[in-house]
Structure 1
Protein backbone atom coordinates (compact mmCIF):
# COMPACT_ATOMS: atom_id res chain seq x y z
CA UNK A 1 0.00 0.00 0.00
CA UNK A 2 1.37 3.41 -0.93
CA UNK A 3 1.73 5.98 1.84
CA UNK A 4 -1.10 8.46 2.24
CA UNK A 5 -0.46 12.03 1.00
CA UNK A 6 1.74 14.13 3.31
CA UNK A 7 -0.25 15.50 6.23
CA UNK A 8 -3.24 13.23 5.62
CA UNK A 9 -4.20 10.21 7.72
CA UNK A 10 -5.08 6.95 5.99
CA UNK A 11 -8.77 7.58 6.70
CA UNK A 12 -10.74 10.74 7.46
CA UNK A 13 -14.44 11.33 8.04
CA UNK A 14 -16.81 14.08 6.85
CA UNK A 15 -19.55 15.47 9.05
CA UNK A 16 -22.44 17.64 7.95
CA UNK A 17 -23.99 20.33 10.14
CA UNK A 18 -26.83 22.78 9.67
CA UNK A 19 -24.49 25.62 10.62
CA UNK A 20 -20.91 24.53 9.95
CA UNK A 21 -19.43 27.83 11.18
CA UNK A 22 -21.03 27.35 14.61
CA UNK A 23 -20.16 23.64 14.64
CA UNK A 24 -16.50 24.28 13.85
CA UNK A 25 -16.20 26.87 16.62
CA UNK A 26 -17.91 24.49 19.04
CA UNK A 27 -15.76 21.48 18.09
CA UNK A 28 -12.65 23.57 18.73
CA UNK A 29 -13.92 24.85 22.08
CA UNK A 30 -15.65 21.72 23.41
CA UNK A 31 -13.60 18.82 22.06
CA UNK A 32 -10.19 20.39 21.38
CA UNK A 33 -9.97 20.33 17.57
CA UNK A 34 -7.90 22.88 15.66
CA UNK A 35 -8.90 24.40 12.32
CA UNK A 36 -6.47 23.63 9.53
CA UNK A 37 -8.52 24.88 6.57
CA UNK A 38 -11.93 26.48 5.97
CA UNK A 39 -13.28 27.16 2.46
CA UNK A 40 -16.41 29.27 2.14
CA UNK A 41 -18.86 29.61 -0.72
CA UNK A 42 -19.57 33.07 -2.22
CA UNK A 43 -22.72 33.11 -0.02
CA UNK A 44 -20.64 32.42 3.10
CA UNK A 45 -21.52 28.79 3.86
CA UNK A 46 -18.73 26.31 4.61
CA UNK A 47 -18.02 24.24 1.51
CA UNK A 48 -15.13 22.33 3.07
CA UNK A 49 -13.04 22.42 6.20
CA UNK A 50 -10.34 20.34 7.80
CA UNK A 51 -10.09 20.02 11.57
CA UNK A 52 -7.24 18.27 13.38
CA UNK A 53 -7.19 16.28 16.57
CA UNK A 54 -3.67 14.97 17.10
CA UNK A 55 -2.88 12.95 13.98
CA UNK A 56 -6.58 12.60 13.11
CA UNK A 57 -8.55 14.69 10.66
CA UNK A 58 -12.24 15.37 10.08
CA UNK A 59 -13.87 17.42 7.39
CA UNK A 60 -16.88 19.59 8.27
CA UNK A 61 -19.30 21.25 5.89
CA UNK A 62 -22.93 22.23 5.70
CA UNK A 63 -25.70 19.87 4.82
CA UNK A 64 -29.43 20.27 5.31
CA UNK A 65 -32.44 18.65 3.77
CA UNK A 66 -33.23 21.85 1.85
CA UNK A 67 -29.74 22.13 0.29
CA UNK A 68 -28.85 20.91 -3.16
CA UNK A 69 -27.68 17.31 -3.33
CA UNK A 70 -23.98 16.60 -3.67
CA UNK A 71 -22.71 13.39 -5.23
CA UNK A 72 -26.37 12.65 -6.00
CA UNK A 73 -27.14 12.25 -2.30
CA UNK A 74 -28.74 14.39 0.38
CA UNK A 75 -26.03 15.26 2.91
CA UNK A 76 -27.57 16.27 6.18
CA UNK A 77 -27.07 16.80 9.86
CA UNK A 78 -28.68 14.35 12.30
CA UNK A 79 -31.05 17.25 13.08
CA UNK A 80 -32.53 16.73 9.60
CA UNK A 81 -32.78 12.94 10.03
CA UNK A 82 -34.81 12.78 13.26
CA UNK A 83 -31.57 12.39 15.22
CA UNK A 84 -30.42 9.29 13.34
CA UNK A 85 -26.68 8.60 13.22
CA UNK A 86 -25.04 6.45 10.59
CA UNK A 87 -21.60 6.67 12.15
CA UNK A 88 -19.88 7.32 15.45
CA UNK A 89 -16.42 8.81 15.74
CA UNK A 90 -13.94 7.54 18.35
CA UNK A 91 -10.90 9.49 19.48
CA UNK A 92 -8.22 8.74 22.06
CA UNK A 93 -7.53 11.45 24.63
CA UNK A 94 -4.93 11.67 27.40
CA UNK A 95 -7.36 12.23 30.29
CA UNK A 96 -10.91 11.07 29.56
CA UNK A 97 -12.35 12.36 32.85
CA UNK A 98 -11.03 15.88 32.28
CA UNK A 99 -12.08 15.79 28.61
CA UNK A 100 -15.61 14.72 29.59
CA UNK A 101 -15.89 17.50 32.19
CA UNK A 102 -14.69 20.08 29.67
CA UNK A 103 -17.06 18.84 26.95
CA UNK A 104 -20.02 18.81 29.38
CA UNK A 105 -19.24 22.39 30.47
CA UNK A 106 -19.20 23.43 26.79
CA UNK A 107 -22.67 21.96 26.25
CA UNK A 108 -22.00 18.42 25.02
CA UNK A 109 -24.81 16.03 25.91
CA UNK A 110 -23.12 13.12 27.67
CA UNK A 111 -24.95 9.93 26.67
CA UNK A 112 -22.59 7.56 28.48
CA UNK A 113 -20.65 8.65 31.54
CA UNK A 114 -16.98 7.60 31.65
CA UNK A 115 -16.85 3.86 32.16
CA UNK A 116 -14.19 1.16 31.97
CA UNK A 117 -14.49 -0.99 28.86
CA UNK A 118 -12.42 -4.08 29.75
CA UNK A 119 -12.19 -6.74 27.06
CA UNK A 120 -10.06 -9.11 29.15
CA UNK A 121 -6.32 -9.51 29.77
CA UNK A 122 -5.59 -10.78 26.26
CA UNK A 123 -7.10 -7.58 24.86
CA UNK A 124 -7.15 -4.02 26.13
CA UNK A 125 -9.04 -1.85 28.56
CA UNK A 126 -10.16 1.71 27.80
CA UNK A 127 -12.06 4.24 29.90
CA UNK A 128 -14.59 5.87 27.54
CA UNK A 129 -17.52 8.23 27.45
CA UNK A 130 -20.10 9.03 24.78
CA UNK A 131 -21.28 12.50 23.82
CA UNK A 132 -23.58 14.18 21.32
CA UNK A 133 -22.50 17.47 19.73
CA UNK A 134 -24.67 20.45 18.76
CA UNK A 135 -26.33 18.66 15.84
CA UNK A 136 -26.48 15.23 17.48
CA UNK A 137 -23.42 13.49 16.01
CA UNK A 138 -22.27 10.67 18.29
CA UNK A 139 -18.69 10.84 19.59
CA UNK A 140 -16.71 8.39 21.74
CA UNK A 141 -13.67 9.56 23.66
CA UNK A 142 -11.39 6.95 25.19
CA UNK A 143 -8.26 6.70 27.29
CA UNK A 144 -6.21 3.50 27.15
CA UNK A 145 -5.71 2.15 30.66
CA UNK A 146 -4.26 -1.28 29.80
CA UNK A 147 -2.67 -2.75 26.71
CA UNK A 148 -2.93 -6.44 25.82
CA UNK A 149 -0.84 -8.77 27.96
Structure 2
Protein backbone atom coordinates (compact mmCIF):
# COMPACT_ATOMS: atom_id res chain seq x y z
CA UNK A 1 0.00 0.00 0.00
CA UNK A 2 1.30 3.47 -0.85
CA UNK A 3 2.78 5.45 1.99
CA UNK A 4 3.47 2.53 4.29
CA UNK A 5 7.07 1.91 3.21
CA UNK A 6 9.96 3.67 4.96
CA UNK A 7 7.54 5.63 7.14
CA UNK A 8 6.78 8.05 4.30
CA UNK A 9 3.47 9.90 4.58
CA UNK A 10 1.04 9.35 1.74
CA UNK A 11 -1.04 12.52 2.11
CA UNK A 12 0.34 16.05 1.69
CA UNK A 13 -1.89 19.11 1.92
CA UNK A 14 -1.14 21.47 -0.97
CA UNK A 15 -1.80 25.20 -0.66
CA UNK A 16 -1.37 28.21 -2.92
CA UNK A 17 -0.55 31.65 -1.56
CA UNK A 18 -0.61 35.14 -3.08
CA UNK A 19 2.66 35.71 -1.20
CA UNK A 20 4.25 32.27 -0.87
CA UNK A 21 7.52 33.70 0.46
CA UNK A 22 5.70 35.40 3.37
CA UNK A 23 3.79 32.16 4.00
CA UNK A 24 7.04 30.19 4.16
CA UNK A 25 8.50 32.71 6.63
CA UNK A 26 5.43 32.55 8.87
CA UNK A 27 5.12 28.78 8.75
CA UNK A 28 8.81 28.24 9.56
CA UNK A 29 9.51 31.08 12.00
CA UNK A 30 6.18 31.21 13.84
CA UNK A 31 4.62 27.78 13.42
CA UNK A 32 7.64 25.50 13.63
CA UNK A 33 7.78 24.03 10.13
CA UNK A 34 11.18 23.23 8.62
CA UNK A 35 11.93 24.19 5.03
CA UNK A 36 12.77 21.05 3.06
CA UNK A 37 12.89 22.57 -0.42
CA UNK A 38 11.87 25.71 -2.29
CA UNK A 39 11.92 25.99 -6.07
CA UNK A 40 11.60 29.47 -7.55
CA UNK A 41 11.17 30.65 -11.11
CA UNK A 42 13.54 33.14 -12.67
CA UNK A 43 11.18 35.91 -11.55
CA UNK A 44 11.41 34.79 -7.90
CA UNK A 45 7.91 33.29 -7.81
CA UNK A 46 7.69 30.18 -5.62
CA UNK A 47 6.86 27.34 -8.01
CA UNK A 48 6.91 24.60 -5.37
CA UNK A 49 7.96 24.33 -1.73
CA UNK A 50 7.91 21.54 0.82
CA UNK A 51 7.78 22.25 4.54
CA UNK A 52 8.11 19.52 7.15
CA UNK A 53 6.51 19.21 10.59
CA UNK A 54 7.22 15.96 12.44
CA UNK A 55 6.88 13.08 9.97
CA UNK A 56 4.48 14.97 7.70
CA UNK A 57 4.77 17.79 5.23
CA UNK A 58 2.83 20.39 3.29
CA UNK A 59 3.49 21.51 -0.25
CA UNK A 60 2.84 25.07 -1.33
CA UNK A 61 3.37 27.49 -4.16
CA UNK A 62 2.42 30.88 -5.53
CA UNK A 63 -1.04 31.71 -6.85
CA UNK A 64 -1.32 33.08 -10.36
CA UNK A 65 1.61 31.25 -11.94
CA UNK A 66 -0.56 29.22 -14.30
CA UNK A 67 -0.86 25.51 -14.70
CA UNK A 68 -3.64 23.03 -14.02
CA UNK A 69 -3.46 23.11 -10.20
CA UNK A 70 -3.38 26.92 -10.09
CA UNK A 71 -6.38 27.07 -12.43
CA UNK A 72 -8.30 24.44 -10.45
CA UNK A 73 -7.64 26.27 -7.18
CA UNK A 74 -8.63 29.70 -8.54
CA UNK A 75 -11.26 31.24 -6.31
CA UNK A 76 -11.01 28.51 -3.68
CA UNK A 77 -11.30 29.56 -0.09
CA UNK A 78 -8.95 28.90 2.79
CA UNK A 79 -8.24 25.37 3.87
CA UNK A 80 -7.60 23.75 7.23
CA UNK A 81 -4.96 21.31 8.39
CA UNK A 82 -4.29 19.49 11.66
CA UNK A 83 -0.68 19.07 12.75
CA UNK A 84 0.51 16.88 15.63
CA UNK A 85 2.99 18.52 18.00
CA UNK A 86 4.50 17.27 21.26
CA UNK A 87 4.20 20.46 23.32
CA UNK A 88 1.09 22.45 22.38
CA UNK A 89 1.71 25.19 24.94
CA UNK A 90 5.30 25.87 23.82
CA UNK A 91 4.21 25.79 20.17
CA UNK A 92 1.40 28.24 20.96
CA UNK A 93 3.79 30.60 22.77
CA UNK A 94 6.07 30.64 19.72
CA UNK A 95 3.11 31.48 17.45
CA UNK A 96 1.94 34.26 19.79
CA UNK A 97 5.48 35.66 20.02
CA UNK A 98 5.48 35.96 16.22
CA UNK A 99 2.09 37.69 16.08
CA UNK A 100 0.08 34.82 14.62
CA UNK A 101 -3.70 35.26 14.87
CA UNK A 102 -4.91 32.74 17.45
CA UNK A 103 -8.50 31.54 17.04
CA UNK A 104 -8.52 29.17 20.02
CA UNK A 105 -5.94 29.07 22.81
CA UNK A 106 -4.59 25.71 24.02
CA UNK A 107 -7.65 23.77 25.11
CA UNK A 108 -8.12 20.24 26.45
CA UNK A 109 -10.57 18.36 24.20
CA UNK A 110 -13.07 15.68 25.23
CA UNK A 111 -11.31 13.11 23.01
CA UNK A 112 -8.07 13.53 25.01
CA UNK A 113 -6.15 15.96 22.82
CA UNK A 114 -4.80 19.38 23.74
CA UNK A 115 -5.16 21.73 20.76
CA UNK A 116 -4.92 25.32 19.67
CA UNK A 117 -6.06 26.92 16.43
CA UNK A 118 -4.44 29.68 14.37
CA UNK A 119 -5.05 31.53 11.12
CA UNK A 120 -2.15 32.23 8.74
CA UNK A 121 -1.57 35.42 6.76
CA UNK A 122 -3.90 34.33 3.96
CA UNK A 123 -6.73 32.84 6.03
CA UNK A 124 -5.82 29.14 6.19
CA UNK A 125 -6.65 27.49 9.50
CA UNK A 126 -3.97 25.48 11.28
CA UNK A 127 -4.83 23.36 14.31
CA UNK A 128 -1.90 22.07 16.35
CA UNK A 129 -2.55 19.33 18.89
CA UNK A 130 -1.42 16.20 20.64
CA UNK A 131 -3.96 13.79 19.15
CA UNK A 132 -2.34 11.40 16.67
CA UNK A 133 -4.75 8.76 15.35
CA UNK A 134 -3.35 5.27 15.01
CA UNK A 135 -3.64 4.27 11.37
CA UNK A 136 -3.91 0.56 10.78
CA UNK A 137 -3.46 -0.77 7.29
Give TM-score, length-normalised by structure 2. 0.83
Cα distance change of structure 1 residues 116 and 7 upon mapping to structure 2, 3 Å threshold: closer
Q: Unaligned regions of 5+ residues in structure 1, if any?
A: 120-124
Q: Return the match for 1:142 from 92, 112, 129.
A: 129
Q: Which has the higher helix share?
A: 2
5 Å-filtered alignment, 1:54-93, equals: 54-63=54-63, 67=64, 69-71=66-68, 73-75=71-73, 84-85=77-78, 87-93=79-85
TM-superposed CA distance for 1:70, in Å, is 2.5
**What corresponds to 1:122 in structure 2?**
none
TM-superposed CA distance for 1:2, in Å, is 4.0
Q: Unaligned regions of 5+ residues in structure 2, if any?
A: none
Superposed CA offset, 1:27-75 (max 9, x none): 1101111111111111110000111111101111111xxx254317253
TM-superposed CA distance for 1:109, in Å, is 0.6
State the Cα RMSD in Å. 2.3
Of residues 135-144 and 5-14 in structure 1, the stretch that sits farther from structure 2 once superposed is 5-14
Superposed CA offset, 1:54-106 (max 9, x none): 1101111111xxx2543172535xxx76xx42x31001111111111110111
**What corresponds to 2:102 in structure 1?**
110
Cα distance change of structure 1 residues 48 and 101 upon mapping to structure 2, 3 Å threshold: same
Give TM-score, length-normalised by structure 1. 0.77
